[in-house]
Amino acid sequence: MNNAEVLLIDDEPQIRKLLEITLESNGYKTILAENGKQGILLAAHHSPDLILLDLQLPGKSGHEVLKELRTWYSKSIIILSVLNNEEDIVQALDNGATDYLTKPFRSAELMARIRSAIRRNWNDNFESVYKNEDLEIDLVARTVKKNEDYVKLTSTEFNLLALFIKNEGRVLTHQYILKEIWGVGSQTETQYLRVFVGTLRKKIENDPNKPQYIITESGVGYRFC
């Protein structure tokens, strides 16, 4: 299908085999690592298009592996873990994970997340104009159209929307968004962020109560789809 190469770092042989079969049946090349040290070496040698990383690894933990990889590896990393507490999810995303999927997961959902993450790699040099169905955003002219009509956004609202678009498909934590838009020292003002997201949804969503663009990741942050 696409010949993209995926590195899987997981210490469970059954999981590695299952994911190898699933990935290769969907057209991906696979590289397998059973611990963090081996995974880092393989990542350096192959420079895969995407890494799937478990958090509970022998020796180096997944969190440690993620932080080390992010000192030089810039492509997408998806966390696959049985750990589903908010602390681990937020820590992984803040340390540079592109996405987080809790085990057990559905194969179809994993494939969709992988496709989105790899598209994000290819779109790192994103176009200045974003178009999707009824929405058009020009990041250079700082204009927004919905159904061909201009939508008036405040400077902060546009900056927030631009941040989402530049990270399309990626879960952004509350703390990351607040720091990027309002600066260091504002990371605890999550209610402030909710107000701005709510206002932005009213302007760009067909139904703000059932958003199709700005999706809430409960307790963690938001994802732009």
Hey, where are the domains in the chain? Answer: 5-122, 129-224
- Residue 127: what pLDDT? 64
Q: How far apart are CA 120 and CA 46, in angstroms?
A: 19
Fold of 5-122: Rossmann fold (3.40.50)
Q: How far apart are CA 66 and CA 68, in angstroms?
A: 5
What stretches of 99-181 adopt beta strand conformation (E)?
99-102, 129-132, 135-138, 143-146, 149-150, 171-173
- Is the distance from CB of 92 to CB of 63 less than 8 angstroms? yes
- Residue 63: what pLDDT? 94
Q: Which CATH number is 129-224 given?
A: 1.10.10.10
- Is the distance from CB of 139 to CB of 189 less than 8 angstroms? no
Q: Identify the bridge partners of residue 136 per DSSP, sorted by sequence position.
A: 131, 145
pLDDT digits (tens, 9 = 90+) for 139-187: 888 899 999 999 999 988 999 999 998 888 888 999 889 988 887 777 6
In the predicted model, residues of the chain with pLDDT beneath 70 are 1-2, 121-127, 187
